[in-house]
Amino acid sequence: QKEVEQNSGPLSVPEGAIASLNCTYSDRGSQSFFWYRQYSGKSPELIMFIYSNGDKEDGRFTAQLNKASQYVSLLIRDSQPSDSATYLCAVNFGNEKLTFGTGTRLTIIP
Amino acid sequence: DTGVSQNPRHKITKRGQNVTFRCDPISEHNRLYWYRQTLGQGPEFLTYFQNEAQLEKSRLLSDRFSAERPKGSFSTLEIQRTEQGDSAMYLCAGRGLDTDTQYFGPGTRLTVL
């Protein structure tokens, strides 16, 4: 069974620091990887996607992918209180649908 | 705003009643997905459509669940004889032809009493 694993947290990070969120997945043949942010009671909002090994940067966000280690991470620089949310890692295992982890709850401490 | 809308946003029903949810993606979304999310869990895949064709259904989708996308535009998800275990957020996502990315609507929160 194809699985996505995340530490559920909570992860507490001081305002202005770097938040590091991690995700592992079960299938080396996986094709695409996504990070969604979800505020309480709201639907998932796409933050970043990454397809190739290495880093991808978008503003304060950097996604890192290591297919050999089956590991994808999200770094949030200069963390803001508005970044407090649950971050969902999702993987397309090549079968159309997304498989999600349980999410990591991030709290930014002012 | 992803352009994907869902109605109703909230639904409270009594056990045994039937409910129907609607999802309206943008015109570019030839693929449409339904997911279910319970508290503390990530979304779980239910079914998806490419245009009007329903191409895959999860084992989570019991016989009480049915989904349609009659003209390849909006989609409906119906739950018959609701049970308390059906209480969840039902999420719809759209995806265009030239992208792998799914964009979610605001969801419909179902509470079965």
- The answer on pLDDT for A28 being more than 80 is no
Mean local confidence (pLDDT), A17-24:
97
Task: Tell whether B51 lies on the interface with A, counting CB pairs under 8 A.
Answer: no
The whole-angstrom separation of Cα A57 and Cα A63 is: 6
> pLDDT grade, residue B44 (50/70/90)?
very high
Mean local confidence (pLDDT), B2-22:
96
> pLDDT grade, residue A9 (50/70/90)?
confident
Contact B45 A31 (CB under 8 A): no
Tokens of A60: 């304060």
Contact B48 A97 (CB under 8 A): yes
Task: Tell whether A28 lies on the interface with B, counting CB pairs under 8 A.
Answer: no
DSSP state of A82: G
Mean local confidence (pLDDT), A51-65:
96
The whole-angstrom separation of Cα B106 and Cα A21 is: 24
- The answer on pLDDT for B61 being more than 80 is yes
pLDDT, one tens digit per residue, over A77-98 is 999 999 999 999 999 988 789 9
